[in-house]
Chains A and B, each alone.
Chain A
Amino acid sequence: MAGKARRRVAVERLEHPGSPPPAGSRHEPVAIDLDRLIHERLRLGIVSALAVNERLSFNDLKRLLRTTDGNLSVHARKLEEAGYVRCDKSFVGRLPKTEFRLTVAGKGALERYLDHMEAIIHATRDG
């Protein structure tokens, strides 16, 4: 029963991250606040790609993640606003160049997210 309760809590936390856990529920270890910011697939892709590269240009990220200019811009800006990635803009000749780096906060967020996913898997198996 406890396993089922834990799983139910985890599902609810995925659906409504940030909401308080149900009273009396045994929610550890899966009921950790899910970082909705990097939970979205494209943002998760950006953070993952930058975790193994010191920096990546806008065009490289776009090609690697097979996405569009607009989509990448929107999601990269959200990560930048959260302080997870740093965006450096410069000019190479007359061409503008945008590069992204993962910040310490971004690395921490990815590690927490990985821990969260692993906790969900362990909780499901243990249950």
Chain B
Amino acid sequence: MTQPTPARNPRSAFAPGAPGAPGSQDSQGSDTTEPPALHLRAMDNLRFIRQTMEEAVYFTAVSGVGEIAVGLTALVAAWLASHRATAQGWLTVWLGEALIAAILTGGAVVWKARQARLSLVSRPGRRFALGLLPPLAAGALLSYALLAAGERALLPGVWLLLYGTAVVTGGAFSVRIVPVMGLGFMALGGVALFAPAAWGDVFLGAGFGGLNLLFGLYIARRHGG
């Protein structure tokens, strides 16, 4: 967590005695020092409002309803994947599910930011993306390498582990339950890595289906939708 910048300090602007504040040394001098101070303090206040709004949007960006939807589609995907005879069919089902999940969860964040008329490339937005994307990119690269090496059995564990890592790092500045959810995925992924290969879809269904449903219900109930 970054330290508050001077601009975010609740006492930095308009505070009696603060530089540029009414009554301070520089505002008691000539008229020429007053306007820039007033102008800057008003701008600082507007900046503070915008920053707080942006942080508040990403603080509650994870939608409980969205997580429930992802959980339900993941349960369907787990059932479908377990009935695929080929590795390619199995992979297609889970890649399709990943795409649906990305659209549902990403769409919820974009919708919320647009509703509040806030930029997606704001500082909290970039921080959210920078926390989320590296573990997901690592997961994609590892998946390709493992498939090339014929180690498909390791994929469920790797996916759960790295998705969990992405949720923990991306959700570090979110409501407390989000990183806890990520830790749940990481724990399940850790177990899946050492479980029999035949249990892969059970782990993926329990993680992407069960955990998303469980935490989605909690988030929707406690944090409003």
Q: A: which residues have CB within 8 A of B? A: 3-4, 7-8, 10-11, 14-15, 39-42, 44-45, 48-57, 59-60, 63-66, 92, 110, 114, 117-118, 120-121, 124-125, 127
A40 to B60, alpha carbons, bound, how many Å? 24
List residues of chain B with CB within 8 A of the CB of A14: 14, 22, 38, 41
Of B41, B49, B55, most A-chain CB atoms within 10 Å: B49
Closest to B56 in A: A49
Quick check: A41 and B27 within 8 Å, CB to CB? Answer: no
Q: A39-B14, A53-B224, A118-B46 are in contact. List 10 more A-B contacts (CB 8 A).
A: A4-B31, A11-B34, A41-B13, A49-B52, A55-B224, A57-B223, A63-B175, A64-B59, A65-B52, A124-B36
A39 to B10, alpha carbons, bound, how many Å? 10
Closest to A66 in B: B4
Closest to B55 in A: A64
Sampled A-B contacts (6; CB under 8 Å): A4-B31, A7-B34, A8-B34, A45-B48, A49-B53, A114-B49
A49 to B78, alpha carbons, bound, how many Å? 39
Taking the closest CB of chain A, its distance from the CB of B120, in whole angstroms, is: 14
| Tier of interface size on chain B | 35 or more
**B192 part of interface (Cβ distance < 8 Å):** no
B53 is contacted by which of A3, A8, A52 (Cβ under 8 Å)?
A: A52
Q: B: which residues have CB within 8 A of A? A: 4, 9-11, 13-14, 22-23, 27, 31, 34-36, 38-39, 41-43, 45-46, 48-49, 52-53, 55-57, 59-60, 112, 115-116, 118, 175-176, 222-225
A4 to B30, alpha carbons, bound, how many Å? 11
